[in-house]
Amino acid sequence: MKVSYHGHSVVKIEVKDKVILIDPFLTGNPTTDLRAADVKVDVILLTHGHNDHVGDTVALAKENNALVVAPFELATFLGWKGVKVHPMHIGGAHTFDFGTVKLTQAFHGSSYTDEETKTITYTGMPAGILVTAEGKTVYHAGDTALFSDMKLIGSDHEIDVAFLPIGDNFTMGPDDAALAAEWLQAKVTVPMHYNTFPVIEQDPHAFVQRLPKDKGRVLTVGEAIEL
C-alpha cells in the first residue's frame, strides 16, 4: 500500500491496482499538487459534504467512472448528479475489491453550499474513514473535534497511519490533535487540514515535535509513505 498527502485533507491510497482519493478538493485548493484534469481515480471516499472536501468529486467520478463512497445523505445527493455511489453510515463497514472501508463518527457539520443560488443542502452526518487493505489500516479522521471514543478506535484497530486535522477554528487544533494521537496509538500520525486558509494556519512541524519520537511525520505535498 502506498499512501500520499496532497494538501488540505486530500489523501491518495494506491492498493491492488486501484487508486483511491479521499476528499478530493483540488480546484481552488492553493495547497495541492494535483490537477483535476490529470487525475486518474477508481474510488473516491468522502468524509462529509463541505465544499472543501467534496471538491472535484462529481467531475472526477464522471470522467473516470469512479465509485463514490460516502455517508448516505451525501451519497444520495451525489447520486442525483449522475455519479455512481455506494452509501454507508457511521459504524458500518463494507468490503470492496480493494479492501474494507469503515465509517467512524466525527464531530463537525456536513452540508453543500451553492454560492450562486445561496442555498445550503444538508448532507447528513460527517464521518471519519478507516481503510484496511493488504493487512494495513489508514485512518482519515475527516473534519472533527476531539472525542473520547477515539480511544476505542485506537484499541479496536491497529492503525498504521492516522491523518488528523490540526488547523483549529473549524476542527481540532494542535493541542487536541496531540491528545487524539495519544489515544489512537497509530504507528505514524500525519497532520492535515492546515494552512489552506489564513484562519487555519499552523506549524505542522511544531505539532509533530509534540508527539513521541518517530510517532509523527509531516508529509510535504505529494510525499508518500510505503506500508
Select from 157, 163, 167 the least CA-distant residue to 202: 167
**Per-residue pLDDT reduced to its tens digit, 170-198:** 999 999 999 999 999 999 999 999 999 99
pLDDT > 90? residue 81: yes
**Per-residue pLDDT reduced to its tens digit, 30-64:** 999 999 999 999 999 999 999 999 999 999 999 99
Residue 183 buriedness (CB in 10 A; 0-12 / 13-18 / 19+): middle
Domains of the chain in start order, with CATH, are 2-217 (3.60.15.10)
What pLDDT, on a 0 to 100 scale, did the predictor assign at position 202?
98
Confidence category of residue 219, pLDDT binned at 50, 70, 90: very high
What pLDDT, on a 0 to 100 scale, did the predictor assign at position 101?
98
The secondary structure element, H or E, covering residue 34 is none
pLDDT > 90? residue 220: yes
pLDDT > 90? residue 16: no
Q: What is the pTM of this model?
A: 0.98
d(CA 41, CA 222): 16
| Alpha-carbon distances, residue 125 vs 70, 108, 117 (angstroms) | 10, 8, 23
* Average confidence score pLDDT of the chain: 98
Percent of the chain with pLDDT over 90: 100
**Per-residue pLDDT reduced to its tens digit, 123-168:** 999 999 999 999 999 999 999 999 999 999 999 999 999 999 999 9
Q: What is the distance, to the nearest Å, from the Cα of residue 43 to the centroid of all Cα atoms in its chain?
A: 13
pLDDT > 90? residue 82: yes
